[in-house]
Homo-oligomer: A and B are copies of this chain.
């Protein structure tokens, strides 16, 4: 029976040791068994679970969503609407963020294109920052459900 130390698990999954402890602390990973000298000992299941978490994090799912997804994954008789909904929600969060960033991209592109050679007194970049009306697109920063962290 494969038994892994935390460092070994870290290597196997590419998740850093302190992060693994952090996931345990916030309840994403169950507390593993310990040796007599209090070291964590993981079985193979932990590798799968941690890989799942890692993958979901790479996709930008927030921890709370991952908690839900893990619960679902643990009880396979449940209907999977929730999982679909979470994925759809994450997709639209990612799309929203892309759209937002593309607005920024356009404005920054303009600033960079107009970049001056000379003194700040005539600098287009500084000027553009001073004068918001020079912006084509309004870049409203929607604050609340940031969601797709990354």
Q: Which positions in A face B, CB cutoff 8 Å?
A: 48, 51-52, 55-60, 69, 72-73, 75-80, 83-84, 86-88, 90-91, 94-95, 97-98, 100-102, 104-105, 107-109, 111-112, 115-123, 125-126, 129-130, 132, 135, 139-141, 146, 148, 150
Contact present for A77 and B108 (CB under 8 Å): no
The majority secondary structure among interface residues of chain A is helix
Contact present for B98 and A58 (CB under 8 Å): no
Contact present for B102 and A98 (CB under 8 Å): yes
> In the bound complex, how far is the Cα of B109 from the Cα of A108, in angstroms?
28
Contact present for A80 and B112 (CB under 8 Å): no
Residue in B closest to A78 when the chains form the complex, CB atoms? B120
> In the bound complex, how far is the Cα of B75 from the Cα of A129, in angstroms?
15
> In the bound complex, how far is the Cα of B57 from the Cα of A83, in angstroms?
35
